[in-house]
Amino acid sequence: MLPDQRACHLNAGYDSSPTRQTLSGLGFTSQIAHKGAPAPIQAGPRWPAEGTHSWMNGYGKLRRMTDCDATIVTFYLYLAAAFITVRALIQRARHRYRWDTRPTTKQLK
């Protein structure tokens, strides 16, 4: 059983008139942050899945994928995931392990 007063708290990504109309049509009291303002109720930082999606979207081939073959699409997804994992491991190792000839820049030589 749903409560009489249903509320929906959303961040600025959902700040649009269609979203507000849909919520009011469903009987929700909405509280949506405006662009540039924090969310009314902030649960915490971005979810790990959101960060991962933004990393995956950083690869142009994945954004422009028009191939119908699922094997090729899967290959590019796995390749992007491998790049992301290796980059994260290198960044963690850069901060964790210290040696005299350690590179001072982020670029690998």
**pLDDT tens digits for range 5-42:** 788 878 777 888 898 899 888 888 878 877 777 666 66
The range of the structural domain enclosing residue 39 comes to 1-44
Residue 109 lies in a domain: no
37 and 63 housed in the same domain? no
In this prediction, residues 67-74 reach a mean pLDDT of 84
Residue 105 lies in a domain: no
Residue 102 lies in a domain: no
- pLDDT classification of 81: cutoffs 50, 70, 90: confident
Q: How many domains does the chain have?
A: 2
Taking all residues of the chain, what is their mean pLDDT, rounded to a whole number? 76
In this prediction, residues 45-72 reach a mean pLDDT of 73
pLDDT at 57 over 80: no
Residue 108 lies in a domain: no
In this prediction, residues 88-108 reach a mean pLDDT of 72
Residue 14 lies in a domain: yes
24 and 52 housed in the same domain? no
59 and 76 housed in the same domain? yes
Q: What are the DSSP E strand ranges found in the chain?
A: 6-10, 28-32
57 and 35 housed in the same domain? no
40 and 1 housed in the same domain? yes
What Å distances lie between residue 66 and 28, 75, 83, CA to CA? Answer: 38, 14, 21
What Å distances lie between residue 60 and 12, 56, 66, 80, CA to CA? Answer: 26, 9, 12, 10
Amino acid at 21: Q
